[in-house]
Amino acid sequence: ALERAFPLRVLRQRLRRGSGGDGSAPGGEGIERDLQVLTDATVSLITERRMSQPWGLAGGEPGAMGENWLLPGGDEERAARLPDKCTIQLKAGDVLRILTPGGGGWGLPPAGVDRRVSG
């Protein structure tokens, strides 16, 4: 639906493994999304939790912070971190990478068990 509404291509959309905080009830995983613009475009980002981690409760660990990145022409080597709130001009072929924050865990993590997944 997103690709029908806007001139962009979804290159990747998946769970952000390991982004949820540990706890007796682990926090939910964030999402990784790469969006390639197909025409020159102005994009506004209004995102949260890019400066601090979502907190855990009752002894749970915090979730991972969110991140916004611009990959000019899709080039990983030229990736530039974007602020949480901004308006930017993109050229056709640029990729916007959005990593949403993971949720904070609830309750003390089980002793000796690390349920986080690297990915």
Tens digit of each residue's pLDDT (9 = 90 or more) over 79-99: 999 999 999 999 999 999 999
For residues 68 and 44, the answer to whether their CB atoms sit within 8 Å is no
Which of 25, 26, 31, 33 is closest to 3 using CA atoms?
A: 33
pLDDT at 114: 61
Tokens of 57: 């409760």
Domain ranges of the chain: 2-99
Predicted structure pTM score: 0.86
Tokens of 12: 């990747």
If you write DSSP's letter for every residue of 27-73 in order, what string do you get? PPPEEEEEEEESS-EEEEEE--SSSSPPPPBTTPPPPPPPEEEEEGG
